[in-house]
Structure 1
Amino acid sequence: MSNERKSDLRRISIFDSTLRDGEQAPGNAMLPEQKLEIAMAIEALGVDVIETGFPSSSPADFAATKLIAESVTTARIATLNRAVREDVRLALEAGGTDDHHLQIMATGSETHLRFKRGISQSEAQAEVIDAIKYGKSLGAKHITLGVEDASRGSDALLRPLIEESLAAGADAVAFADTTGCATPDEYGAQVARVKSWMGDAILSTHCHEDLGLSLANALAGIQAGADEVQATLAGIGERAGNTSLEELIAVLTYKGEQFGARTTARAEGLYDAFQILRRSIGLQVPRNKAIFGVNAFATQAGIHQAGMLRDPITYEYIEPHRFGRERSMLVGRHSGRSILRFLFEQLELPMNDSVIDDLYEEYIANRTNGECVSMSELRGIITDKLSAGVSA
């Protein structure tokens, strides 16, 4: 897509929650200094907002918020807070009042009102309005109403909560599918209705992965009018996780026109940021994860390799270099003879079908247990074999 056509698309703000929702999941705790390093790598991608944590929850989150707020230069920060005055005061003390999105949690479903909070709808709404007004009195420039479990809430609960919160001074709403229960049709329809109540205020998606639909739901939200997407590196977060930042950027990079949306966040640097995160929390990398997975840009299937050796576009839609990755062709028992012929050409060796058949039987066909070698290793094997007297 040309830059001119891209500029005609609606720009979507990206809100990164790696350091808050991502950290909340078991095993993901980070030190303030680690959060700062990750935040700076995320800022370098060009995201709009970086959520630093929950300042009232611990001295570490307070310190991290303060460190990051003092260090970022292009991104704004955000914090998550209960609808409690002391939470609001601590968050503003740590993160300041100007480039700080003060998120105030609201109870967004009858289920949570009854079983989690044990309070009435009017009581829940009153505490939120009080917290918003208190934040404004302390000088907060940006306040987001974070509606927890909104995807299971009724319009009769959500509409007055949202309209009264905006009237009290909030300028954004984060509409959360907290349990990951929504489908794209359901979530998109809810986002469209909520957006119609909001005037010019920002509407942000916050989707979870419990049904494997967090990215699909976020995209449905964009199509329904959402202005911002909350996401995390590698999709880390509560339970199954959140919308993956790298997958969101990939979709908007390659398919933005289809969704009528674009992002100015850059794909370059994503993998470096992921590596910092991975080292910080000891995150194991799955083989099959999009963009960041071990095998995301690797292949050993001979039928694929035969095409890719002619032109990578045959099986490679996403370009690895755009995401800081490299293409990898591995040789295993599913690889064919094409890879050997390719290496013979590279080594400027004369083709000999008998030698190629022998090498195939010895080094490819009989590999077991998923064992693979790289092309460079196989190149070395061929060279050693031939230099040891295998006639070509």
Structure 2
Amino acid sequence: MKEISLLDTTLRDGEQAPGNAMNPEQKLQIAQRLMEVGVDHIETGFPASSNFDFEATRLIASKLRGVGIATFSRTLISDVKLALEAGGREKTHTIQMVATGSDLHLKHKRNISREQAIEEVVKTVEFAKQASDCRIAVGIEDASRGDFDYMGEMTQAAVAAGAHQIILADTTGYATPSEFKKLISFIKYKAGKGISISTHCHNDLGLAVANTLAGIEGGADEVQVTLGGIGERAGNASLELIASSLHFKPEIYNAKTNIRLEGLYQTYQELCSTIRLSSTRNQPIFGDYAFGTAAGIHQQGILANPDTYEFVKPDVFGRHRELFVSRHSGKSIIKYILEKNNLLPCADFVELLYEECINSRVENSCLSMQQLESEVKSLFIYLDKTA
């Protein structure tokens, strides 16, 4: 089974999105948590962009051992020099340099030709190779809208100059899974043996996770992700969903990661606290009610056998199953509470308890199991005494 490397860019792509800013000490704390859950490489920031990112990179590189770090640079020697100064010149440091992949970006963003873009890549890769022992990665920006022949030429030029990895970025969330898989397969062929291929997918159409998984099917060796899917605009492919998909569907992807799933939720909670991020109720894995239900039919099945409505298991992530009570709940949960507490009422009692505790609830009124259990026990005792 293929082992997929995970490069987490929470501290760079995730942190640069509005509202997500962190100082160097906060970045270090999150980086330590990411290391503990098994992330292979942690992208620390863009050292040439600000003193904050420079200092954060230097701090993380000096404190963390046993995990790779990565930095972001443009295809400029000046950027790479700063990245090396901040992150070091060792093999554990990945120098990522972003190259221009689409004609749209070449014309309207860079105002350079394809030939000039490739020349930039070659010169900067050659400098990085001469100046360090770092892993050198060339990220092709807007690759999903780029011309295949041009990107193939850039890939081969980068590899000849000394690049160890090519990153394909779906920068605007443009690709579909079939398109992205085709791109990954093509560039892997062009790069040749021994060159790592990585994915970097954005979520503008909600396809970042699907495209990343398609990239793995297409031969990607590494994927770039963020915790909770935070990132520019609609975000990035989320670490927890990629790791979970490979955990629960290994036979489909024939791939695995080193991620310790049981530590992800606690790490996410720390991130949320740091950047004051609120989780949504229905977010997969991390959502408030990701493992909770108020539907009577579901509750009846779960109480009989959790597998009926749980394929993704809460305990895998250090979370717990939650049954909530609302007007959508049925009598089975009342019977369950009574049996659990060795209370054996007649059928009329069950009906009465159901009417008083559940059916009479107004719309959107919702109780936890603990609250319902307290109500049922109190009401049962009262009814039993007055019967």
Say yes or no: TM over 0.5.
Answer: yes
Alignment of 1:319-330 (within 5 A): 319-330=313-324
1 CA distance for matches of 2:172 and 2:319?
32
Instruction: Output the aligned Cα RMSD.
Output: 1.2
Whole-angstrom distance in 2 between the partners of 1:110 and 1:94: 32
For 2:123, the aligned partner's letter is: D
Contact kept in structure 1, 2:75 and 2:97, CA below 8 Å: yes
Question: Secondary structure at 2:137's aligned position in 1?
Answer: strand
What is the identity, as a one-letter code, of the residue corresponding to 2:218?
Answer: A
- In the alignment, the residues of structure 1 paired with residue 336 and residue 94 of structure 2 have an alpha-carbon distance, to the nearest angstrom, of 55
- Matched position secondary structure for 1:289: coil
What's the CA shift for 1:390? 4.2
- Corresponding residue for 2:125? 132
Residue 208 of structure 2 is aligned with which of 165, 190, 214? 214
Match of 1:28 among 10, 16, 20: 20
Superposed displacement of residue 135, structure 1: 1.5
Q: Which residue of 2 aligns with 1:152?
A: 145
Per the TM alignment, residue 170 of structure 1 is displaced from its structure 2 partner at its CA by 0.9
Deviations 1:271-305, CA, capped at 9 Å, x for gaps: 01101110011111111111001111001100000
Determine the structure 2 residue equivalent to 1:70: 62
Q: 2: CA distance between counterparts of 1:280 and 1:371?
A: 31
How many Å separate the matches in 2 of 1:131 and 1:76? 21
CA distance in 2, matches of 1:349, 1:260: 50
Match of 1:97 among 73, 89, 98: 89
Equivalenced residues, count: 384
Structure 2 residue 39 is the aligned partner of structure 1 residue 51: no
Q: Distance in 2 between matches of 1:299 and 1:39?
A: 33
Q: Encode CA deviations 1:335-375: one digit per residue, 9 max, x unaligned.
A: 00100000000111112222222221222113234221111
TM-score, normalised relative to structure 1: 0.96
- Superposed displacement of residue 389, structure 1: 4.9
Quick one: which amino acid aligns to residue 172 of structure 2? T
- Secondary structure class of the residue paired with 1:344: helix
Tell me the residue number matched to 1:236.
230
**Residue segments in structure 1 that go unaligned for 5+ positions in a row:** 1-8
Q: TM-score of the superposition, structure 2-length normalised?
A: 0.97
User: Contact 2:293 / 2:322 at 8 angstroms: preserved in 1?
Assistant: yes
Q: Could you tell me how far 1:70 is from its partner in structure 2?
A: 1.5
Identify the residue that residue 3 of structure 1 maps to in structure 2: none
- Cα distance in 1 between the residues matched to 2:122 and 2:14: 27
CA distance in structure 1 between the partners assigned to 2:202 and 2:318 by the alignment: 26
State the distance in 2 between where 1:281 and 1:373 align. Answer: 30
Tell me the equivalent position of 1:278.
272
**Corresponding position of 2:347:** 353
Amino acid at match of 1:126: E
| Cα 1:369/1:67, change in 2 over 3 Å | farther
Q: What CA deviation, in whole Å up to 9, does each residue of 1:285-337 have, x standing for no partner?
A: 11111100111100110000001001111100011011121110011110001
1:11 aligns with 2:34: no
2:41 partner letter: V
| Change beyond 3 A, Cα 1:345–1:211 | same
After superposition, the C-alpha distances for 1:81-135 in whole angstroms (9 at most, x for unaligned) are: 0111221111111110111000001001001001111111111111222211221
**Aligned equivalents of 1:356 and 1:313: distance in 2?**
26
Q: Runs of 5+ in structure 2 lacking a partner?
A: none
User: Is the 1:78–1:102 contact (alpha carbons within 8 Å) kept by the matching residues of 2?
Assistant: yes
**Paired AA for residue 45 in structure 1:** V
Answer yes or no: is the 8 Å Cα contact 2:291–2:320 preserved in 1: yes
Q: How does 1:178-197 map to 2 (within 5 A)?
A: 178-197=171-190
Q: Which residue of 2 aligns with 1:123?
A: 116
Identity, % of aligned pairs?
48
Aligned to 1:5: none
Residue 386 (structure 1) shift: 3.2
Partner of residue 359 from structure 2, selected from 351, 359, 365: 365
For 1:331, which of 315, 318, 325 is the aligned residue? Answer: 325
Please state how far the C-alpha of 1:62 moved relative to its aligned partner. 0.9
Does structure 2 retain, via aligned residues, the 8 Å contact 1:343–1:379?
Answer: yes
Alpha-carbon deviation of 1:208? 0.8
